[in-house]
């Protein structure tokens, strides 16, 4: 069940949680014509703060442009609305879902005659993946091909690809799915980017392998560079993960989560040394414990 909050921002106004409703003939419900973002608010010594809000809202704008969803609100408006919503809901820590989709107006695939509905919702959502080392399974489903549906855009419809992979993995008793691109290279998990560590070098697949340009991925790359760890954004094979010293996944909802095994092949430890250091630094960066990363935090209550 979703832990209810009191209000949802819906097309410019705060409305009570259960009144944020749409018609059953909403275009986006039928054809997946929508874009979304997932962002987190963390508790910091200066009060709750949104982590990398400008980056998330700019990605929403890029996704909308790629998928031809007109966005009626600017990044500046959505920034103000996000802070207003989190204040109204009284969260100290929460997940924030921004989304915009083609609403009620016409049926059929012509996208030009349905207005965009824009929503921001927030709720308390700890430990999306359960907070322990993951058992991954390589999915039989390939990641959306960039020339079928661009995985660079965080669109709602394309998540059927992730949902199928996740369902296959959980049906088989695993925690999460690893998806390969059409050419067989490693892409990402159903809603996290993936990293491998071998001989002290940190590697993660690029957007050209169908991986989302993850904001947590970018954060982890920055933290690793700042620690002096060599990083490479390059194509990986599944065998690169089997043979790694450490594997972890990361995303806004999940955080930085170690991988214990892939396709039944155990990694050398449940949580590697570098994974542990990066997870700790990520926690410090998100909760205001590291002054050099405070630039990533937008306070919810203006000082």
For residues 129 and 244, which CB has a smaller minimum distance to ligand PMP in the complex? 129
- Residue 117 in contact with ligand PMP, rule: CB under 6 A: no
Q: Describe the chain by its helix, strand, coil percentages, rounded to 5.
A: 30, 30, 40
Exactly one of 135, 143, 154, 203 is catalytic; which is it? 154
Would you say 6 and 122 are in contact if contact means Cβ atoms under 8 Å apart?
Answer: no
Q: Which stretch binds ligand PMP (CB under 6 A): 20-28, 122-130, 208-216, 260-268?
A: 208-216
Q: Which stretch binds ligand PMP (CB under 6 A): 3-11, 65-73, 184-192, 289-297?
A: 184-192
Catalytic residue flag (residue 276): no
For residues 116 and 191, which CB has a smaller minimum distance to ligand PMP in the complex? 191
- Residue 214 in contact with ligand PMP, rule: CB under 6 A: yes
Among 117, 175, 176, 188, binds ligand PMP (CB under 6 A): 188
Q: Which stretch binds ligand PMP (CB under 6 A): 2-10, 116-124, 210-218, 267-275?
A: 210-218
For residues 117 and 192, which CB has a smaller minimum distance to ligand PMP in the complex? 192
- Residue 286 in contact with ligand PMP, rule: CB under 6 A: no
Alpha carbons 15 and 10: distance in angstroms, whole number: 7
- Residue 247 in contact with ligand PMP, rule: CB under 6 A: no
- Residue 251 in contact with ligand PMP, rule: CB under 6 A: yes
- 137: which strand partners? 177
x/- letters, 155..174, toward ligand PMP (CB under 6 A): -------x------------
Would you say 47 and 300 are in contact if contact means Cβ atoms under 8 Å apart?
Answer: yes
Cα separations in angstroms, 31 against 69, 102, 259: 12, 9, 34
Identify the three-state secondary structure at position 73: coil
Burial class (CB in 10 A: 0-12, 13-18, 19+), 193: buried
Q: Which two tokens stand for residue 108?
A: 């059929």
Alpha carbons 161 and 41: distance in angstroms, whole number: 27
Q: Which two tokens stand for residue 68?
A: 């031809």
SS (H, E, C) 129-176: CCCCCEEEEEEEEECCCCCCCCCCCCECCCHHHHHHHHHHHHHCCCCE
Q: Which stretch binds ligand PMP (CB under 6 A): 11-19, 42-50, 73-81, 191-199?
A: 191-199
- Residue 209 in contact with ligand PMP, rule: CB under 6 A: no
Enclosing H/E stretch for 238: helix 238-242
For residues 7 and 174, which CB has a smaller minimum distance to ligand PMP in the complex? 174
- Residue 212 in contact with ligand PMP, rule: CB under 6 A: yes
For residues 214 and 288, which CB has a smaller minimum distance to ligand PMP in the complex? 214
For residues 214 and 272, which CB has a smaller minimum distance to ligand PMP in the complex? 214
Active-site positions read 154
């Amino acid at each position: 069940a979703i832990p209810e909050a009191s209000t949802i921002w819906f097309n410019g106004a705060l409305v009570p949680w259960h009144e944020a409703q749409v018609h059953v003939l909403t275009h986006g419900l039928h054809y997946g014509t929508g874009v979304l973002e997932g962002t987190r608010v963390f508790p910091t010594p200066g009060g709750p703060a949104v982590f990398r809000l400008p980056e998330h809202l700019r990605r929403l704008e890029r996704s909308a442009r790629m998928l031809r969803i007109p966005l009626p609100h600017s990044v500046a408006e959505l920034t103000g609305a996000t802070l207003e919503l989190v204040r109204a809901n009284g969260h100290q820590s929460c997940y924030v879902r921004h989304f915009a989709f083609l609403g009620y107006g016409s049926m059929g695939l012509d996208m030009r005659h349905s207005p965009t509905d824009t929503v921001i919702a927030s709720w308390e959502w700890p430990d999306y993946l359960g907070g322990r080392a993951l058992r991954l399974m390589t999915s039989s489903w390939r990641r959306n091909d960039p020339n079928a549906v661009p995985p660079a855009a965080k669109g709602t419809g394309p998540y059927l690809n992730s949902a199928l992979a996740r369902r296959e993995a959980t049906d088989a008793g695993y925690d999460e799915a690893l998806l390969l691109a059409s050419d067989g290279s490693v892409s990402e998990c159903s809603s996290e980017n993936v990293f491998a560590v071998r001989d002290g070098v940190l590697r993660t697949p690029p957007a050209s392998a169908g991986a989302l340009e993850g904001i947590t991925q970018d954060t982890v790359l920055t933290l690793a560079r700042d620690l002096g760890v060599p990083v490479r954004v390059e194509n990986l094979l599944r065998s690169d993960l089997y043979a790694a010293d450490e594997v972890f996944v990361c995303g806004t909802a999940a955080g930085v989560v170690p991988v214990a095994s892939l396709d039944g092949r155990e990694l050398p430890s449940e949580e590697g040394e570098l994974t542990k250091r990066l997870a700790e630094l990520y926690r410090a960066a998100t909760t205001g414990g590291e002054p050099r990363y405070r630039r990533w935090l937008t306070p919810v209550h203006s000082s």
